[in-house]
């Protein structure tokens, strides 16, 4: 019979009770106290009540007369811990047995209750860091199989499950990172940003990410896993060859021959599990690199939001933002903008005291004189250096990038050209040099359809060597 079929009908009343959290704390405390026993397997009724009383005192719980205590046996009218203990036994969370030798009741946990209790223990305790433990556990399981004389295939199955859990952990971490930066970008004041940052510092996902991205955790064990996988495959191949040679000298239907065939089949099954584990690690590496790239993109968006709030102030106190909102909803938007543009073009504020002037009493009233509009000055070529992207890559790296994406002597940009943020930056330098005529390359064609990747978009273009190039 399945454990699910053994659950009584009143089992789920615990989740409908207003003392749900208290019941769960009582169950966890009784379970921990049971595990500490040396001379007995279960707690007596008095010991269970003592544990519940201790929990109630720690939480300051004073139960009120509730309907859930007013039905059934007369024990429900008993005060304090007895009522909670009785309900746990009636609902099926605890099993109540009478011992004739000691003339007392003992309480134990059914199997289905232990399944829920394990989940409660994980939810109520601080979440443990699983990223480093999962990587290390995969390595440990593979090493155990390599040194095991029996070559138990179940060890490799556990290693495959551990790698799948690690991949799921990275996916959950990716979703958590996206929601965190979205929440950070939605904040409208500095105080809200500070609260989000403080919560992130205390968040276990942040510690997981810090440990996962360290050199000693991920890359070290990733390379070690690949090395030990290669050793396992070579060892299994050598064992199969040896057993196949031994099989030819045995009788086909003998017990030793059957044992050899079984070991050969288990060796092939082990190779299949090892290959699946290695494939999972390839997926883990891709998702890990994607996680780092996404963090850079999300952090840039959040940083832009923070800098905007620091420079422009809070949106609620910004009259300009309120004016823009009213202007957008106004049917006379164009007329208002035209009048505003004319007034700003013909007039200027009269300043009695400027930033660099001394105080002086005004003895005359000057007539109003409209000031001519100030035309924007032409940009100086010397100032353009402030807008030039500083190169962070050597010319050798940029040339290698051009050579990698060149076909038939022509450099062409496709959807596969950019595989990361670094490639996007190198493409920017290539476009800058080609547009300026540097590097002996010239742009020969562009495409109007942009390519969107990593939160940015770029245009397809091709370029070839100039005719007057010396290269």
pLDDT grade, residue 1 (50/70/90)?
low
For position 356, what pLDDT does the model report?
A: 58
Q: Which residue has the tokens 């164009």?
A: 334
Pick 218 or 104 by higher pLDDT. Answer: 104
For position 83, what pLDDT does the model report?
A: 83
Range among 182-186, 360-364, 439-443 with highest mean pLDDT value: 182-186
pLDDT tens digits for 134-175?
A: 677 888 888 888 888 777 888 888 888 888 888 887 777 777
Give this prediction's pTM: 0.45
Question: How much of the chain exceeds pLDDT 70, in percent?
Answer: 73
For position 214, what pLDDT does the model report?
A: 57
For position 262, what pLDDT does the model report?
A: 87
Query: How large is the average pLDDT for residues 315-320?
Result: 56
DSSP string, 236-263: HHHHHHHHHHHHHTS-TTSHHHHHHHHH
Query: How large is the average pLDDT for residues 355-376?
Result: 64
pLDDT grade, residue 127 (50/70/90)?
low
pLDDT tens digits for 68-79?
A: 444 444 444 445
Element (H, E) at 189: none
Closest CA to 345 of 320, 377, 371: 371
Q: What is the mean pLDDT of the chain?
A: 75
Question: How much of the chain exceeds pLDDT 90, in percent?
Answer: 0
For position 384, what pLDDT does the model report?
A: 43
Token representation of residue 147: 């040194």
What CA–CA distance (Å, rounded) separates 202 from 362?
Answer: 61
In this predicted structure, the answer to whether residue 290 has a pLDDT above a threshold of 60 is yes
In this predicted structure, the answer to whether residue 116 has a pLDDT above a threshold of 50 is yes
Instruction: Report whether 294 contacts 174 (CB < 8 A).
Output: yes
What CA–CA distance (Å, rounded) separates 19 from 55?
Answer: 13
What CA–CA distance (Å, rounded) separates 50 from 26?
Answer: 11
pLDDT tens digits for 354-364?
A: 555 555 555 66
In this predicted structure, the answer to whether residue 351 has a pLDDT above a threshold of 60 is no
In this predicted structure, the answer to whether residue 247 has a pLDDT above a threshold of 70 is yes
Pick 389 or 396 by higher pLDDT. Answer: 396
Q: At what angle do helices 255-312 and 421-436 cross, to 10 degrees?
A: 60
* Lowest-confidence pick of 253-262, 287-296, 355-364: 355-364
Query: How large is the average pLDDT for residues 285-308?
Result: 77
pLDDT tens digits for 402-435?
A: 888 887 777 888 777 877 777 777 877 787 777 7
Burial of 194 (0-12, 13-18, 19+ CB in 10 A): exposed
φ/ψ (deg, to 5) at 465? -70, 140
pLDDT tens digits for 34-72?
A: 877 755 667 888 888 888 888 888 888 776 655 444 444
For position 206, what pLDDT does the model report?
A: 59
For position 225, what pLDDT does the model report?
A: 84
pLDDT grade, residue 289 (50/70/90)?
confident
CATH architecture classification, 3-124: Orthogonal Bundle (1.10)
What CA–CA distance (Å, rounded) separates 391 from 457?
Answer: 20
Q: How many CA atoms lie within 13 A of 359 on its CB side?
A: 0
For position 459, what pLDDT does the model report?
A: 76
Q: Which residue has the tokens 């070991």?
A: 263
Range among 142-146, 209-213, 323-327 with highest mean pLDDT value: 142-146
């Amino acid at each position: 019979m399945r454990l699910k079929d053994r659950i009584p009908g009143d089992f789920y009343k615990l989740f409908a009770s207003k003392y749900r959290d208290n019941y769960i704390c009582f169950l966890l405390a009784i379970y921990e106290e049971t595990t500490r026993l040396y001379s007995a397997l279960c707690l007596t009724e008095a010991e269970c009540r003592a544990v519940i009383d201790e929990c109630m005192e720690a939480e300051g719980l004073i139960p009120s007369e509730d309907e859930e205590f007013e039905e059934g046996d007369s024990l429900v009218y008993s005060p304090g811990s007895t009522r909670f203990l009785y309900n746990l036994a009636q609902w099926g969370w605890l099993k109540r047995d009478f011992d004739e030798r000691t003339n007392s009741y003992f309480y134990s946990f059914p199997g289905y209750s232990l399944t829920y209790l394990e989940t409660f223990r994980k939810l109520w305790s601080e979440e443990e860091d699983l990223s480093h433990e999962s990587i290390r556990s995969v390595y440990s399981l593979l090493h155990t199989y390599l040194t095991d004389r029996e070559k138990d295939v179940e060890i490799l199955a556990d290693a495959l499950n551990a790698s799948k859990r690690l991949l799921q952990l990275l996916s959950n971490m990716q979703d958590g990172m996206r929601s965190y930066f979205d929440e950070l970008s939605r904040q409208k004041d500095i105080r809200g940003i500070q609260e989000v940052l403080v919560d992130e510092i205390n968040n276990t996902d942040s510690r997981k990410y810090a440990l996962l991205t360290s050199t000693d955790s991920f890359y070290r064990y990733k390379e070690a896993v690949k090395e030990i996988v290669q050793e396992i495959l070579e060892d299994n191949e050598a064992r199969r060859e040896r057993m196949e040679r031994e099989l030819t000298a045995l009788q086909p239907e003998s017990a030793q021959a059957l044992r050899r065939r079984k070991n050969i089949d288990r060796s092939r099954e082990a190779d299949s599990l090892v290959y699946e584990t290695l494939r999972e690690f390839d997926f883990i590496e891709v998702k890990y690199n994607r996680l780092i790239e996404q963090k850079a993109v999300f952090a840039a968006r959040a940083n832009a939001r923070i800098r905007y709030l620091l420079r422009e102030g809070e949106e609620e106190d910004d009259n300009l933002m309120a004016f823009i909102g009213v202007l957008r909803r106004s049917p006379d938007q164009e007329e208002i903008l035209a009048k505003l543009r004319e007034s700003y073009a013909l007039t200027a504020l009269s300043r009695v005291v400027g930033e660099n002037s001394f105080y002086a009493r005004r003895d005359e009233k000057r007539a109003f004189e409209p000031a001519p509009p100030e035309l924007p000055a032409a940009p100086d070529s010397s100032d353009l250096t402030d807008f030039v992207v500083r190169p962070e890559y050597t010319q050798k790296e940029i040339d290698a990038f051009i050579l990698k994406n060149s076909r038939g002597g022509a450099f062409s940009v496709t959807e596969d050209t950019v595989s990361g943020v670094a490639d996007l930056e190198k493409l920017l330098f290539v476009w800058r040099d080609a547009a300026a005529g540097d590097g002996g390359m010239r742009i020969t064609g562009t495409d109007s359809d942009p390519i969107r990747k990593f939160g940015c978009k770029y245009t397809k273009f091709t370029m070839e060597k100039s005719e007057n190039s010396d290269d």
